[in-house]
Structure 1
Amino acid sequence: MLRLHTPLARMKAVASGLLLMAAALYVTALELAHTQPVFAGYLKAFSEAAMVGAIADWFAVTALFRRPLGLPIPHTAIIPRNKSRIGANLGDFICTHFLSREQVLAKVSEFDAAKRIAQWLSDPANASALSGLAVRLASHGVGALRDERVRQFVRSTAFARLEQINLARMSGQLLEVLTDDDRAQEVLDGVLDQVDLMMQSEATQKRIADLIAAELGYSPVNLFGKEISFAGIAGTWTAERLVKRICDLISEINKDPEHELRKEFDEQLLALVAKLKDDPAFRLRANQLRAQLIQHPALHSYLTGLVDDVVDWFEADINSDTSTLRQHLNAGALKLGEALNEDTAMQSWINEQILALAGPMVERYRAQIGSYIAERIEAWNEEELVEQLEAHVGKDLQFIRINGTLVGGLVGVVIHVGTQVLVG
C-alpha cells in the first residue's frame, strides 16, 4: 500500500498520477480513433505530448538527485557527484553575499547593540536573571575551593609565583610611583595636618608627657658615678618641654613647604627607592623575608582558614532568601542599564568599539566559515545529502513534473491544430 506520509510523497503521487492519466487518455484516443477521428486526434495529440513532457521533467528532476532507473546515464545524479563543488560554491556565495565586511558592519550598526543592552538590563526580570546566573557560576567556582586537590593547586601555584617576585625591586618601583611628581609631599602634608591637629590638644600633650616622664623615671642616668632619676617634678617638667618642642617642630614643618626636614625627607625617600631597586643587600634581605614568609606554617594555616571563611560566608549568603550578594548584583545591573540608557555618549562609544571589533573578526573568520560549509557538505553521506535536499526542495520540484504534463499536453494540441491548418 502506498504510504503518503510526507508532503514530498504526496506531490510525487500527484505528478505520477497525471502521467498515468495522460497514458489512459492516449489509450482512450486509440479506441476512439475509428468512431470519432477528429476528437480522437486532439485527444491523442494532447496525451502524447503530456506523456512526453511528464517523462522528460521526471527525468530532469530525478537526475538532480540520483540516476533515473539506476542507469549510468551521463550528467545524472548531479548533486551527489558534484557535492564538493557545490559545497565550495555555496561557501563562497554565503561569504561574498552575506558576510562581506560592508554588509556585516552595516547590520551591526543598524542593530544598535548598546541601546539594546541598556534596555535589556533596565528590565528588572532580566537584571534578576543575570544576577542569578552570575551567583550560580560564582557558587560553582567557589565551591570547588573545598576540594583539597584544588586547594593544593592554588597554594602551590600562588607560592611558586611568589617565589619569582623580586620583592625589593617591586617595592622600590611601587614606592617610586607613589612618590613621583611630589606626591610624597602631598602624602606628608596630609599626615602632618592630622598629627599637628592631634598634637595641639592639651590632653594629648599631657598624656605623651606623662608617658615620657614615667619612662625617664624608670631609666636613671649615671652622672659622676651616681644614678640620678628624673622622676617627679623634674621629670614631668622635662617631658612637657620635650613634647612642646616636638609640637612646635611639627607645626613648623607643616606650615613651611621649604622646611629643611622636608628636603631631607625627600632625599631619604629617594635613597630608599634606589636601594630597594638596585642594592644587593636589600634584595637579599627581601628574598630571605619572602622565603621565611612562604615557609611559615602560620601563613598556610591563615590562608586555609581565610578561604574556608570566605567559602562559608558565600554559600550561606547565596542560599539565603535575602542574599546580600544577589541583591547588590541585581541593583547594580539595573543601575547600569538605567545609566547606559540615559548616556547616549556612552552608547556611541560602545557601538564604536563593537564596530571596530566586528570588522577584523569578519575578515578573520569569513574564510573559515566558507571552508566549514564546504567541509561539512563534503563530509555528508551522499544518501543523507540527497535526502536532506529532496526533503526541503523536492516538493516544489514536483510542480515541474505537473506543469510539464499539462503544458506539454497543451503544446501538443497547439501543434496538432497548426498541422491541421497547414495541411488541410
Structure 2
Amino acid sequence: MKNEVNIVEQLDVAEDAYRRSRLRVMQRIALALLLVATMLFALARSRHGQHPAWGYLEAFAEAAMVGAIADWFAVVALFRYPLGIPLWHTAIIPNSKDSIGKSLGNFVENHFITEESVVERIRKADIAMLLGEWLLHPLHAKQVGDAAAGIARQLLQRADGDLVRHMIRDLASDELARLDLSTLAGGGIDALVAEGMPEQMLDAILGKLGGWLADENNHDMIGDLLVRCLNIDNAMIRSMVQGYTPNIIESLQKQLVEVRQDDKHPLRAKVGGWIADSTMRLKADPAWKASISRYQQQLVHSEHVQGALNGLWDTFRARMLADLQGPSPALVAATQGLVEKAGRVLVTEPGAREWINGAIESISRTLVQRHRGEVTPFIEQQLAKWTKEEMSDRIELAIGRDLQFIRINGTLVGGLVGVLIHALTLAL
C-alpha cells in the first residue's frame, strides 16, 4: 500500500511538472508576441511619415501592445498581484479561496451528486452485468478462490487456539444438552413405522432366527439353553427335555414360518403395539423424558464426549491447513465454482440482474439522501487545507495554459482593431 501511495505521488509530481512546462511555453509565446509588437512599433515610429504603410504598422503594433498588456494584467490579476502591487480587485482566486470552496461544493452537490444523476449513472452502467462478466472470467474466479484460501489460511494460523477450542466445545455442549432426544427418537420411530421398517426388521430377525434354529450344530446349544431357562436340576428330567429339543425346535420353526407368512399374525400386532406405546411414551411420558434427559446430560458432560468436542477445532484446523497447503485446495475449487456459478446466473438471468441493480440503486438513493449536505463542507475543508498560494498555483496549472491564449488573442485582435481604427480615421 505504501509503495502504491508513493507511485501515485510521483505521478502527480510528474504531471504537475509537465503542466508547468507547457504553461511556461505558452507564457513565453505570449511575451514574445508582445516584444515583437514593441519592436514593430519602434520601427514604424522611426519611419513615421515616410510611407502610409508605416502608419498602419504603427497603429497595429500600438494596439497590439495595449491588448497584450491589458490581457496580461487581466490574467495575472486572477492569480496574484500584478508586479506585486496590491491593486483593487486583483489576486481574485487566492483572496476568494473560501467563497470558491463553498460555491464549488454547492455546485457539485446540487448538480452532480443528486439522486437522479447517481441512479441514472448506475442504471446505464448495469453493474450486475459487469460483475457477472467479471466473475465468469476463469482468471478472476481463480483469483477470488486464491484470495479466499489466503484469508482462510491466515485466520487458521493466527486464531487463538485455546479460545476457539473452548468456544466450540462449550457451544457444542450447550446445543447437545438442549436437544430433546426423546421427542426426536419418537419422531424417528414414527418415520420408520411409516416406511414399514419395523415389519421388515421383524421379518429379517425371524429369518435369521429360523436359520439359526435350522442349523443342527446349534441344537445342543439350544437344548442346554432350555435346561438353563427352566432351571432343571433333575438329571432324568434334563435328559427328557434334551431329548424333546428337536420337537421344540421344529415347533418353533413352524411358528416362525407362520408369522413370516401371515401379515395379520397376532405377534405382528403385538410388536406394533409395543412400538406405538414406546413412541407415545418417548414423546409424552414425563418420566421417560426426564430419564432420557438425565442420561443425555451425563453423556454430554462425560470425560469422553468433552474430550472429543475439545478436539474438534484441532482436527478441523489440521485438515483445513493440510488441504490449503496442498497443490489443489478444495476451498479454492469450491470458491471458484461458486464464483463462476454466480457470474453465470448474473449474465443469463435478467431477473437476478434487475434485483441486484435495483438494490444498488436503492442503497445509492439512501446514501445520497443520508449524506446530503456533507459534500459542500467536505470540499470546503479540503480546500481549507491549501494555502492561498497553493490554490492559485493548482488552478493556474489546470487552466493557465488556456488563459495564455487570451493574451495571444488580445495581442493579435488588438492589433487588427488598431489597424481598423487607423483606417477609419484616415477615411473620415
Q: TM-score, normalised by structure 2?
A: 0.71
Within the candidate set 418, 423, 428, 1:417 is matched to 423
Are 1:198 and 1:204, in contact at CA under 8 Å, matched by a contact in 2? Answer: no
Structure-1 residue corresponding to 2:393: 387
Closer, same or farther: CA 91–160 of 1 in aligned 2, 3 Å: farther
Aligned partners of 2:90, 2:43: CA distance in 1, in Å?
Answer: 34
Query: What letter matches 1:405 in structure 2?
Result: T
Q: Structure 2: how far apart are the matches of 1:268 and 1:41?
A: 123
User: Contact 1:293–1:299 at 8 Å: present in 2 too?
Assistant: no
Distance verdict in 2 for CA 1:5–1:379, change over 3 Å: closer
Change (3 A) 1:5 1:342: closer
C-alpha change, 1:129 and 1:239, in structure 2 (3 Å) is farther
The offset of 1:150, in angstroms, is 3.0
Are the counterparts in 2 of residues 91 and 370 from structure 1 also a CA contact under 8 Å? Answer: yes
Corresponding residue SS for 1:75: coil
Q: Deviations over 1:386-422 (max 9, x none)?
A: 333222211111001111111122222333333344x
Aligned partners of 1:66, 1:250: CA distance in 2, in Å?
A: 112
1:294 shift after superposition: 11
CA distance in 2 between partners of 1:267 and 1:64 (Å): 95
Compared CA separation, residues 298 and 188, structure 1 to 2 (3 A):
closer
> How many Å separate the matches in 1 of 2:331 and 2:83?
70
**Cross-structure match for 2:5:** none
The aligned residue for residue 8 of structure 2 is none
- 8 A Cα contact 2:64 2:418, kept in partner: yes
1:420/1:370 CA distance change after superposition, 3 Å: same
Largest Rg, 1 or 2: 2
Of 232-241 and 297-306, the range deviating more from structure 2: 232-241
Alignment partners' CA distance in 2, 1:57 and 1:347: 56
Give the match for residue 146 of structure 2.
135
- Check whether the contact 2:68–2:411 (CA below 8 A) recurs between aligned residues: yes
Question: Distance between the aligned counterparts of 2:93 and 2:62, measured in 1?
Answer: 31
Is the Cα contact below 8 Å between 1:208 and 1:243 reproduced in 2? no
Query: Do residues 32 (structure 1) and 47 (structure 2) align?
Result: yes
- Partner deviation per Cα, 1:347-369 (whole Å, 9 max, x = no partner): 33333323232321332345444
Code of the aligned partner of 1:19: L
Q: Give the number of aligned pairs.
A: 394
Residues 309-318 or 331-340, more deviating: 331-340
Alignment of 1:23-422 (within 5 A): 23-36=38-51, 38-122=52-136, 126-147=137-158, 150-155=160-165, 157-158=167-168, 171=179, 187-189=191-193, 192-201=195-204, 202-204=206-208, 206=210, 217=225, 265=279, 268-269=282-283, 296-297=306-307, 299-318=309-328, 324-365=330-371, 367-421=373-427
Paired residue type of 2:165: R
Whole-angstrom distance in 2 between the partners of 1:207 and 1:85 = 103
Aligned partners of 1:146 and 1:308 also within 8 Å = no
Task: Tell me the distance in 2 between the aligned counterparts of 1:127 and 1:219.
Answer: 77
- Gaps in structure 1 of 5+ consecutive residues: none
Deviation readout 1:254-313 (Å, 9 max, x if unpaired): 9x9xx89658746743667xx99xx9x999998887666799455434532432132112
Q: AA paired with 2:105?
A: G
Aligned-partner residue type, residue 164 of structure 2 = V
Q: Percent identity?
A: 29
Give the distance between the partners of 1:348 and 1:175, measured in 2 at CA.
48
TM-score, normalised with respect to structure 1: 0.71
**Counterpart secondary structure, 2:113:** coil
- Give the direction of change, closer, same or farther, for the CA distance of 1:136–1:103 in structure 2 (3 Å limit): closer
Tell me if the contact between 1:205 and 1:243 (Cα under 8 Å) persists in the aligned partners.
no
Find the residue that maps to 1:85 and give its secondary structure: helix
Question: For 1:362-385, what per-residue CA distance to the aligned partner results, in whole angstroms no more than 9, with x for missing partners?
Answer: 323454444433322221243333
Q: Contact 2:34 / 2:65 at 8 angstroms: preserved in 1?
A: yes
